[in-house]
Structure 1
Amino acid sequence: MPLIACQSDPIPENNSNSSIFSYVSRAGWNAALPTLVERFSGAAPYVIIHHSYIPSACENTGECVKAMKDMQKYHQEVQKWNDIGYSFAVGGDGLVYQGRGFNVVGAHAPSFNDKSVGICLIGDWTYYTPPKEMLDAVHALIEYGIQNGNIRPDYKLLGHRQVRDTECPGNRLYNEIKTWDHWVEQP
């Protein structure tokens, strides 16, 4: 799979240290325009993992594109946010979908939106662990962010429930990320 970067982010040289993952830009999923883009500078010290709960897990690119559009529409029209809340999402097709992207203030975790990368694994991960392809894509995206200075090498990994009263990212996904390097019990 070729390395494809966010259109707004620098493309790294593809060498042995580069993370390889497949990527769908905002144009690729036909994202609506954001009403406002607020940026933050520097590498994010936090990565926060979410699940969408609704929409449910998508298994192919067509379903995942629809899920992205549905999430963005809900976030913009119902929640009245500037854009989809997350920095990125990962679908059951194993692809990384650009949400707001790196270094853009999100709407996924109050008090952390201006210093984190929010990654949503599309689906409800309360009773099932996401497929390996999804988890591998998350790891590759994080590594890519580190390599390109968008995520601090000493970042702290959190589940959404650690920063807000919610069941997100689902019990099975939360138990999974607790085994990953960089997960911390307290922000």
Structure 2
Amino acid sequence: MKVLLVLSGILFVVQGCPLIISRSEWSTRASLCTHELRMSLQYAVIHHSDGNRCFSMSVCKEQLRNIQYYHMVTRNWCDIGYNFLIGEDGKIYEGRGWTKMGAHTRGYNHISLGISIMGNFTSVVPNRKAQTAAQSLIQCAASRGYLSPTYILMGHKQLGSTNCPGNALYNVIKTWPR
């Protein structure tokens, strides 16, 4: 998000952070996670949830609760595995957030921010709204110091034996900076 600011007659463009829908706006289930993330993480790791796509806030919130239930109840994790999730409504939803270590990429959770776009992107790419939201979130994380100035953008499949984030999405993120 770009914000225009005029000071003493000079126009400045300030790079701001996008709106993030807090977990309290989509979930009543408390996180049980205690492991903290450090600042200046080395990696931004892109995932797909491998479930249904969502194009409206109400459907995305329902999908988030389904993913959270699967992670917390079925898999017995302390919370939803991702730090942030993105819907094709163009909104960013808080998962574990900026400060809690995720459960998204074995061996890399302590040095990475996990961002999942909701849906299966094996043969179809997420829409422009979701892609823009993901890029804005990454820029925000870097500008606020959550990601190192030399962070590396990775698809989950580059760090483990998986098809995630799907070939179509992976081919798109390979064109993004870093």
TM above 0.5, yes or no, is yes
* Corresponding residue pairs, total: 170
Which residue does 1:10 correspond to in 2?
A: none
Instruction: Note the aligned Cα RMSD (angstroms).
Output: 1.7
Residues 121-160 of structure 1 show CA distances to partners (whole Å, capped at 9, x for unaligned) of: 0001011111011000011101111111111121111111
Which residue does 1:185 correspond to in 2?
A: none
> TM-score under structure 2 normalisation?
0.90
Which residue does 2:134 correspond to in 1?
A: 138
Which residue does 2:6 correspond to in 1?
A: none
In structure 2, how many angstroms separate the alpha carbons of the residues matched to 1:62 and 1:96?
13
Q: Identify the structure with the greater helix proportion.
A: 2
4+ residue segments displaced more than 3 Å: none
**What code does the residue aligned with 2:50 have?**
Y
How far did 1:164 drift? 1.4
Which residue does 1:64 correspond to in 2?
A: 60
Question: Which range is displaced more, 156-165 or 20-29?
Answer: 20-29
Residues 90-128 of structure 1 show CA distances to partners (whole Å, capped at 9, x for unaligned) of: 001100000001131110001110110000000010111
Secondary structure in structure 1 of the residue aligned to 2:13: coil
Which residue does 1:155 correspond to in 2?
A: 151
Question: Which range is displaced more, 79-88 or 26-35?
Answer: 26-35
Which residue does 2:33 correspond to in 1?
A: 36
Contact 2:2 2:13 in 1 (8 A): no
Secondary structure in structure 1 of the residue aligned to 2:115: strand
Please list every run of 5 or more consecutive structure 2 residues that lacks an aligned counterpart in the other structure: 4-11
Secondary structure in structure 2 of the residue aligned to 1:179: coil
Q: Identify the structure with the greater strand proportion.
A: 2
Which residue does 2:13 correspond to in 1?
A: 16
Question: Which range is displaced more, 35-44 or 103-112?
Answer: 35-44
Which residue does 1:175 correspond to in 2?
A: 171
How far did 1:84 drift? 0.3
Contact 2:2 2:14 in 1 (8 A): no
> TM-score under structure 1 normalisation?
0.86
Which residue does 2:97 correspond to in 1?
A: 101
How many percent of aligned residue pairs carry the same amino acid?
Answer: 35
Secondary structure in structure 2 of the residue aligned to 1:16: strand
Contact 1:45 1:154 in 2 (8 A): yes
**What code does the residue aligned with 1:117 have?**
L
